[in-house]
A and B are shown apart, each in its own frame.
Chain A
Amino acid sequence: DGGITQSPKYLFRKEGQNVTLSCEQNLNHDAMYWYRQDPGQGLRLIYYSQIVNDFQKGDIAEGYSVSREKKESFPLTVTSAQKNPTAFYLCASSKGGSYNEQFFGPGTRLTVL
């Protein structure tokens, strides 16, 4: 079955540690996205990638980093520079462009203690 997987579902880290969230898709989509969701707010774009080996900052990229070495994978690293990292993180993919449907992963809930 085609889809997007994110792991782990729940993640706990101590303050000051970097942590990497995994996102894999087998939909053969060119575009991939990372969003952050906080209570009472809409999803906010962290980074997106239109194609392999290329990515752009979204609206809230500070304190985050990504890579896109393979079409299927778009890992997100939450660095110690991110001031409020506790949140629900969603990965998505699409054929590309805002006029194409985005397919979402199940999300990772990160808690920094």
Chain B
Amino acid sequence: KNEVEQSPQNLTAQEGEFITINCSYSVGISALHWLQQHPGGGIVSLFMLSSGKKKHGRLIATINIQEKHSSLHITASHPRDSAVYICAVGGSNYKLTFGKGTLLTVNP
């Protein structure tokens, strides 16, 4: 079974700071997902990666398959970025294994 570890568990930043959230996994995967969960509970998919790097607005996600590691970066952070960010990995079947999440708080 794949083990997914996220760091840090909690992160507090000032508005405008550059933020990095890390995700490591133990077994080879077919895809890695980054998700965002707001206080109300709803979850939104941010990225799905199998290699390289993806960018969407101020968010950048990278993955290193050899090192079994991914990072989510947020540039010019804003209070509206405050949420729980979740890493999930998938193998050859339909199942995803989820990390416990990183709680990000961005203060104005």
Interface residues, chain A, with chain B CB atoms under 8 Å away: 31, 33, 40-45, 48, 50, 58, 88, 90, 92, 96-107, 109
Q: How far is the CB of B50 from the nearest CB of chain A, in Å?
A: 7
Judge whether B90 and A98 touch: CB under 8 Å.
Answer: yes
**B residues whose Cβ falls under 8 Å from a Cβ of A:** 4, 29-31, 33, 35, 40-45, 48, 50, 86, 88-101
Chain A: which residue is nearest B101 at the CB level?
Answer: A42
Dominant secondary structure at the A interface:
loop
Cα distance, A44 to B97, chains bound together (Å): 8
Chain B residues, Cβ within 8 Å of A109: 41
> Chain A nearest CB: distance from B91 CB in Å?
6
A50 to B40, CA, bound (A): 28
Docked pose: A88 CA to B92 CA in angstroms: 27
Residues of A within 8 A of B99 (CB): 42
A44 nearest CB across to chain B (Å) = 8
Contacts A42-B98, A42-B100, A58-B95 given; does A99 touch B44 at CB 8 Å: no
Given the contacts A43-B86, A45-B96, A98-B96, A106 and B48 also touching, CB distance less than 8 Å = no
